[in-house]
Structure 1
Amino acid sequence: MLLKRLVHAAVAALALAAVMPASAQQVLKVGSTATGVPFTFLDTKTNSIQGVMVDLITEIGKDAGFQTQIEPMQFSALIASLTSNKIDIISAAMFITPARKEVIDFSDPFYTYGEGLLVPKTDTRDYAKFEDLKGEVVGAQVGTAFVDALKKTGTFGEVKVYETIPDILRDVGAGRLKAGFADYPIVAYNLKQGGFAGARLVESYKPTMVGSVGIGVRKGDQDLLKKINTSLARLKANGTVDKILDKWGLKAQGA
């Protein structure tokens, strides 16, 4: 009788263990930003962060077996929040750079692009390179790879640093900046939506600060990094990544 009860108890325990992962999935905090449309932005209708990187990390979580909790914050606070354990993952329009790789680890690249050049709409010149703006005052977003790269050229009279890309667009449109440099897809999307009528994207300009976006994790968190990379590869292969890009008006890589 005792043996039968022990067998029943063991079977019940195994059955409970089998359903536990579905009902008690690990919840990981994901740092993202409200100003990187279409990669990440605040949807005022739902008061939640939406966009390419939110869709991507959500699908990765589904595939890898964890839930995601999006934590909105300034772009410049993302890495510090990750290293101080306030978040577990960064999923934003963040370039994989050598300097950042010294502090955090990145997934395999997800999307590659360069900077866009913004000028006032009244400025019709076809700029092609930095030297065309020699001695001028330009702007870039704090925390991005563009700031140091622009300063190191020694080409510009001043490189002003802004908290958000919309702030750059406003100052360019108002004539307070000769030009602004920012993530091409983000700027193109903003302008396509009809905002910031005083600024234009210079199509003749050739980007020089091209980089790849990746998902960030804490140094040494190899188990999580392996899960993310495995799922990312699977989502690329089955077309999920292309569907996400298409949803937000971005071209598939290589298209």
Structure 2
Amino acid sequence: MNKAKKMLLLVVMLLAVFVPLLPTHIHADQTDDSLEQIKKSGKLVVGTSADYPPYEFTVKEGDKTKYVGIDIEIAKKLAKDLGVKLEIKNMAFDSLLVALETHKIDAIISAMNPTPERKASVDFSDVYYTGKQYMLINKKDVTKYRKLADFKGQPIGAQTGSLQYSLVKEQLPGSEIKGLSKLNNLVIALQSGKVTGVAMEEPTAKAYAANNSQVVAIDPGFVSDTSQTGSAIAFAKNSPALVAAANKTLDQIKAENLIDTKYVPEAAKYMETSTKNNTVLSYWTYFAKGIEYTLIITVAAVFFGFILGILLSLMRLSNSKVMHSLAVCYIEFVRGTPLMVQVMFVYFGIGALIQSLPALIAGIIATSLNSAAYIAEVIRSGIESIPVGQTEAARSLGMDQKDTYRYVIIPQALKNIWPALGNEFVTLIKESSIVSIIGVGDLMYQTQLVQSSTYKGVLPLFVAMVIYFVMTFSLSKLLNVFERKLNHG
């Protein structure tokens, strides 16, 4: 099969996968059943990025993680008014809109600003809280940076996809903007000198400053449209019934002034309590849970990836042009795209067709499919490294192709490829950290929870590094034992 036919086959395969996943929109004459669907399911699934105190953050209660903050209280009230249970999905801020559009969540309550760009894709409730835009700086720079003009030409950090990111880009055109999905990492960048300041909302900036003596919150004088700077609840496009229900809840919250009199004081109390009992050591159960999920993902990906890898390698070595081309297209496509994109595609893309697809299963599927492509090439190279005389000798003894592979080729090939195969298994432990972007509670995800709960950035990362090293080093030693047995077999 020539190159042109292979490219055509690859395009056809991609269209077959992507076309069914193209978004469909509700026409104006169709009935809005958004509210009915939630009541029918019996739960309201709310997406949030729980690293934004006092809006949404996590605290430790016993061995469990509790989501608290202004937005969490609003979510609880909305779910109660709708007569359904509340389910919180914690994920990266810049993944929330994708999750909403693919119906992985029913609403976003995460201090999201209703900008015109976002309104084009989703529906918003009324604004429920408005705060100024502040800058978090190092305490030693408090006399150096006071107003917006002082930051000109300086590297500034902001959460990716946030209003603050847009404001920095517009009002500090000469500055280098560094965008990250987690505020914890931005604060680390600030304290390590990677950025001069971090743009965030006033309550959040003050929360970080109150719990970290090395940073200070200032008002640099950002100019912003008050209609876009407030926080609102986001819903899928064309959900007027759900928006109306949310506005009814928000009207009651405003009438009783619950945010200022109840939600903010409660958030402050949680932050104060968390600060007093926020030693990283006390969060050992978080790391233990992260290890558990990391090992589950790794073992499952190794098992399924190895099986699929064997199949793909045999397809690529097949005399059938169709089988060979399918294997080549799959391997080249998977190896030519980032694992992060593949994880998000499986969860948000395929997950749009299978609404009940859990994040953990999506993570296992994505890492297994990715690993299979690399394992296939390792196995293929091992098989091709066996001299052709071995095959001829086996066939001369009356073995068919199946027995030749089973008893002659594969055992010898396995000995040759074991180091490369072992390296792929070790790599999987580290690459599994990518699934944290879709809310899987692996080690990296749990580390981020510890960061947001303790207001410490570097120490939790150091602990995670040590744990990853122990796991990979232990696996390497175990694989070496098997390698020695193979060599002496």
Q: TM-score under structure 1 normalisation?
A: 0.80
Match of 2:46 in 1: 30
Hey, what's the Cα distance between the residues in 2 that align with 1:146 and 1:101? 17
* Matched residue SS, 1:85: coil
Q: Tell me the amino acid that sits aligned with residue 223 of structure 2.
A: T
- CA pair 231-202 structure 1, distance change in 2 beyond 3 A: closer
Cα distance in 1 between the residues matched to 2:158 and 2:132: 13
Map 1:149-228 → 2, pairs under 5 A: 149-193=167-211, 195=212, 197-203=213-219, 205-209=220-224, 211-228=229-246
Identity of aligned pairs, percent?
25
- Is 1:141 equivalent to 2:156 in the alignment? no
Report the secondary structure of 1:215's partner residue: strand
Once the two structures are superposed, residues 96-115 of structure 1 have per-residue CA deviations (whole angstroms, 9 ceiling, x without a partner) of 11111111111111100122
Deviation at 1:188, TM superposition (A): 1.0
Give the partner amino acid of 2:182.
T
Q: Distance in 2 between matches of 1:233 and 1:175?
A: 43
State the distance in 1 between where 2:46 and 2:191 align: 33
Give the secondary structure class of the aligned counterpart of 1:61.
helix
- Aligned-residue offset at 1:91: 0.8
- Rounded to whole Å, the distance in 2 between the matches of 1:236 and 1:188 is 23
Distance 1:119 1:154 in 2: 16
1:198 to partner: Cα distance: 2.8
Distance 2:249 2:201 in 1: 26
* Corresponding position of 1:121: 139
Q: CA deviation at 1:133?
A: 1.6
Q: Secondary structure at 1:156's aligned position in 2?
A: coil
1:126 shift after superposition: 5.9
Structure number with the bigger relative contact order (C-alpha 8 A, sep ≥ 6) is 1
Aligned to 2:54, the other structure's residue is in SS state coil
Provide structure 1 residue ranges, at least 5 long, that are not aligned to the other structure.
Answer: 1-22, 251-255
Tell me by how many angstroms 1:25 deviates.
7.3
Shift of 1:24: 7.6
| Structure with greater helix percent | 2
Q: Does 1:107 align with 2:125?
A: yes
Structure 1 residues 175-227: Cα deviation after superposition (integer angstroms, max 9, x where no partner): 2222221222112112212x3x3322225x22324510001111111111111
Q: Aligned partners of 1:67, 1:227: CA distance in 2, in Å? A: 16
Q: Conserved in 2, the CA contact under 8 Å of 1:172 and 1:198?
A: no
CA distance in 1, matches of 2:85, 2:242: 13
TM-score, normalized by length of structure 2? 0.43
* Partner-residue secondary structure (3-state), 2:44: strand
- The structure-2 alpha-carbon separation of the partners of 1:230 and 1:136, relative to structure 1 and needing over 3 Å to count, comes to same
Q: Is residue 74 of structure 2 the alignment partner of residue 59 of structure 1?
A: no
Residue 128 of structure 1 and its aligned partner are, at CA, apart by 4.3
State the alpha-carbon separation in 2 of the partners of residues 239 and 133 from structure 1: 36
**Separation of aligned partners in 1, 2:79 and 2:259:** 13
Structure 2: give runs of 5+ residues left out of the alignment: 1-38, 270-489
